Amino acid sequence: MKRIRAGWELTKKSWAVLREHRRLMRFPIYGAFATIPLAIITLGPGLYLIEEGEIAPGAPLAVLGFYILAFVGIYFSVGLAATADKIFRGEEASVSDGLAVARGRLRQVAGWAFFSTVVGVIISAIEDQGGIFGAIVGRVLDIGWALVTFLAVPVIALEGTGPLETLKRSGTLFKSRWGQQVTGNIAIGGAVFLFGVLPAAALIGLGVLLWGTSGFGGALLVIVGAVILAVALLIQKALTGIFGVALYHYAAEGAVLGGFTEQELESAVKIKGGATPAQSSI
């Protein structure tokens, strides 16, 4: 219950920032509009060829698709982080300002997109080809990677580091603030999952079940569920970006920004064995 309450408070604070500065929502929206056609052009055909057993042409095309989608997602996330940073500092910040920072970080964005794509492909291969043991190991690696790189986007946006420096810096920030006993995920977004993703999944599932007996009604439920799911995921991405900047400043400088409290930021990361951050730090 404590983790749920903490996640709820973090989500509410991030939502308050997003509601007051709605232009931040434009970054994930732009990213979604850019990735849809790119996914259709590259990732879709690649996955189709792999499914048909044509690995040689399909695998490179799919990897290229994953890379392009990662690049686009990181590009707009960097723009959001840069804009949120200005807002937290009390400065005037527009979408154009954030995109200008992202354009200035193109080399770093491209490098991190490549690095994260390679890691993602390796983890997926371990999960898919290693049986039950591979699935367990892959899941552990996936959770660890997501946690260690949670601050990667703010680091790129605000420090302009390359891939290896970004990985080292993001991991170092977590290690210096929360020690080596981190075992869980970042506690944010539970409200979006509860009030957005779950209802959307329920509507889509019900629509699929009704499709055979009531074609129009079933299709309508699927469409409504898909729209709700898309909106929920966009909001989730914006909230995560906003919170990531606040957590970055807390980890790097000890600064408490964006209406969050020190206790909320300190408890955002789950510590192994219930240890306090002071107990688990090095």
Q: What is the mean pLDDT of residues 124-146?
A: 86
Give the model's pLDDT for residue 223.
Answer: 84
- Is 248's pLDDT higher than 90? yes
Indicate left, alpha or beta for 142 from its phi (over 0: left) and psi (-120 to 50: alpha): alpha
CA distance 244 to 110: 20
Tokens of 280: 């688990």
- Is 103's pLDDT higher than 60? yes
Instruction: Decide: 27 and 84 in contact? Cβ < 8 Å.
Output: no
Give the model's pLDDT for residue 275.
Answer: 47
Tell me the one-letter amino acid at 123: I
What are the extents of the domains in the chain? 2-274
Give the model's pLDDT for residue 234.
Answer: 87
CA distance 192 to 240: 11
Residue that has been written with the tokens 């052009």 in this structure: 41
Confidence of residue 277 (pLDDT cuts 50, 70, 90): very low
Q: What is the mean pLDDT of residues 39-62?
A: 84
Confidence of residue 227 (pLDDT cuts 50, 70, 90): confident
Give the model's pLDDT for residue 47.
Answer: 83
